[in-house]
Amino acid sequence: METEILTLSDPAAEERALALLDAGDLVALPTETVYGLAADATQGVAVAKIFAAKGRPSFNPLICHVFDLAQARGLAVVGRAAEDLAAAFWPGPLTIVLPLAPGSPVHPLATAGLATVALRAPQGVAARLAQVLGRPLAAPSANPSGRVSATSAGQVLKGLGGKIPLILDGGASSVGVESTIVMPQADHLVLLRPGLVTRAALADASGLKVRDRATTAGVTAPGQLASHYAPAGRVRLDATRVEPGEYLIGFGPEPVAGQELAADVINLSPSGDPVEAAARLFAALAAFDSPDIAAIAVAPIPAAGLGEAINDRLRRAAAPRT
């Protein structure tokens, strides 16, 4: 694919970005921290394209960018502490992790299947696009996985050129400091990642104590535990034959031997498209997460491209329970 670069001063730039985002495509854009790789956070295939373009070997939860607190309220349960923090620091480099609202439109791939969502109202074009689109934008840094964050349109092009349709050029971003990430709890804040907004400023704005993640029992970084987010039943990977009564997560056009004896089948992508499969993965695991379901078989999924991240997530679901 050809990668187009438009400067923010070009009157056509935002229109073009909106059309791509609405259609489920990616747009790299400047934020006050680094360049972000943005997708409509409510479209699973769009979010899967982020992981594919970056070549990420695993799914981690992404920060979702919103225009303001009102838009955040449509996505998450915004409590008193979050209101105080947003009033003090939004728009700006503060990310607040909140419980998903019932029926939240944020796609589970954007939260890596967690019951929480990380929200930030940035300054500039990302916020405007989220406002006009009327949907949150999932946007990690616009660089290939494992490489340094891009702070100019030229660096984005070097890393992701040919893999994304559009880069919005807003000049050099003020270098490399990431957003602070904080998670409000009943009577304190948990600092998940230090950043430009300091611990003292967080305490000041909220009137709450700020604790570190490490010292807070029960709070773990997403994806750290091998068996994190596992369904209730046993998960069997690379199944080339279905045992009678097993539930099957399938992939591709070829049925697995014995498939007709499965209790139920969800095919992640009948055409064998890993991007589509990634978009459906978390919903499939959730659908089969029930005390009534004892055994889930998963068809082999090729490791190429996004297949690596899909298999990583499935291995966690299949890992022995502690």
The binding site for ligand AMP (CB under 6 A) comprises 60-63, 97, 111, 114, 116-118, 140-141, 178, 181, 192-193, 221-222
Cβ neighbours of 226 (radius 10 Å): 14
- N- to C-terminal Cα separation, the chain: 45
Selection from ligand AMP, Mg ion, none that 114 binds (CB < 5 to 8 A by kind) is: ligand AMP
Type of residue numbered 98: L
Task: Based on DSSP, count helices (H) and strands (E) in the chain, helices before strands.
Answer: 9, 15
Residues 46-105 that bind Mg ion (CB under 5 A): none
CB 255 to ligand AMP: min, Å: 36
Which residue, 68 or 178, has its beta carbon nearer to ligand AMP?
178
d(CA 55, CA 137): 19
**Which partner in ligand AMP, Mg ion, none is near 117 (CB below 5 to 8 A by kind)?**
ligand AMP
Give whichever of 140 and 184 is closer to ligand AMP, judged by the CB atom.
140
Smaller CB separation from Mg ion, 62 or 281: 62
Q: Which does 181 bind (CB under 5 to 8 A by kind): ligand AMP, Mg ion, none?
A: ligand AMP
Question: By C-alpha distance, which of 189, 187, 183, 191 is closest to 212?
Answer: 191
Site mask for Mg ion (CB under 5 A), range 127-166, x = bound: --------------x-------------------------
Closest to Mg ion by CB, 112 vs 263, is 112
| b/e map 63-89, b = 16+ CB within 10 Å | bbbbbebebbebbbebeebbbbbbeeb
The CB-of-309 to Mg ion minimum distance in angstroms stands at 15
> Looking at beta carbons only, is 63 or 239 nearer to Mg ion?
63
Residue found under tokens 């890993």: 274
User: Could you tell me the smallest distance in angstroms from the CB atom of residue 216 to ligand AMP?
Assistant: 12
Residue 52 DSSP SS3: helix
Q: Which is nearer to ligand AMP, 118 or 239 (CB)?
A: 118
Phi, psi dihedral angles at 65 (to 5 degrees): -100, 130
DSSP line for 185-204: -SSEEEEEE--SS-HHHHHH
